[in-house]
Amino acid sequence: MSFEAAAVLYEMIYLDNAATTRPDEEAVGEALRFLREDFFNPSALYKESFAVHKRLDAARKNILSHVADPAQFELVFTSCGSEADNQALFSGARRGNFVTTEGEHAAIYQSAQELSRRGIDVRFAKLDRFGRADEADVLRLVDEKTSLVSVIHVNNETGAVNDVARLAAKVKEKNPRALFHADGVQAFGKIPFRLTKNIDFYSVSAHKIGGVRGAGALIRGKSKNLFPHIFGGGQENGLRSGTENTFAIMQFEAAAKKKFAALAADLERVRGYNLYFRENLDRELFAVISAEDASPYILSVSARGLRGEVLLHMLDDEGVLVGTGSACSSKNRYSRVILACGADEKTADGVLRISFSRENTIAECERAVRIINACAKNLAERTK
């Protein structure tokens, strides 16, 4: 085998893009001047800093405009999606009860546990077998004392898409005073969507769309109360203190511009990758968990009876990187989300989460499927 052939054979295939994506090099290049030349603190008083401050506000409006009307909504920069989720929950659920679902990201689920410890009545709605929120159950839990409802837009483990616009409208019909939040981290820049007047808070993150880690945002309706989660120098109009990470924010802006410009084309390309896996994974070894109408960026499957973690490490040795669920909950053997979908422990134990980006190719998918099938067959034979 030639050196070139060996290099191709062992080249890494990265299929864990729901955990994080490779930073977009063009976007990094556009933002580098905010590390090198325009490194000034946006809060300082000299003209160089004021210029950075103005550029930061332009980035704020540009990122917001991809999904919302800047006349009706505003954007607060945070360090990540988890921080944005936390700020929304601890601002909105300050009295009465809080309604969410069993399918939320850990940033919501663990915050809900803390709210419960603080005396808030926390209510969890059920999921269907694909990980979608049971809308009837969500609405059943909402009453006149509900202060906040939070429903994930795209489930980070199964890719299930919740119609948060419709659900928010129904929540408001039942309790017009209730606030509605959606975790949009796996939806932003990946599926077509615009915020409606009934959605009060929406969380997004840079590193899921080619941004660097260290930048996220909470979008809020301008008339909705939001309370600071971090106190200090009063940055972000007093809503999020701490010197702004201007490089990460500018790179976020550039990555989002590129991602939204190609959103439709990327969605179609990724649908092809997702379909290829669905059609070519060994059906005697794998069962597909994700619904056909789920976000094509995420495909969860289960090698029932096999350990997903063992299979993950076998694939890693062969140069294929996948997940077993949420990277934020990787220390748990069984995914609480997959179990909440009605799966038994054998199914939950065998879960692999395959997640795509625009950078993947069909050639990578073809090779990855061959390797995944071979590793699963090998593991099955060893565990007989």
Question: Residues with catalytic annotation?
Answer: 328
Helix orientation angle between 47-65 and 246-261, rounded to the nearest 10 degrees: 30
Helix (H) or strand (E) segment spanning residue 128: none
State both tokens at 288: 């597909």
CB-based contact 58:84 (threshold 8 Å): no
Strand 97-101, strand 73-78: pairing: unpaired
Which ranges constitute the DSSP H helices of the chain?
A: 3-9, 25-31, 33-36, 47-65, 81-92, 106-117, 135-141, 164-174, 246-261, 263-280, 308-317, 336-340, 345-349, 362-382
Q: Is 47 exposed, middle or buried (0-12, 13-18, 19+ CB in 10 A)?
A: exposed
CB-based contact 214:205 (threshold 8 Å): no
Tokens 């945070």 -> residue: 78
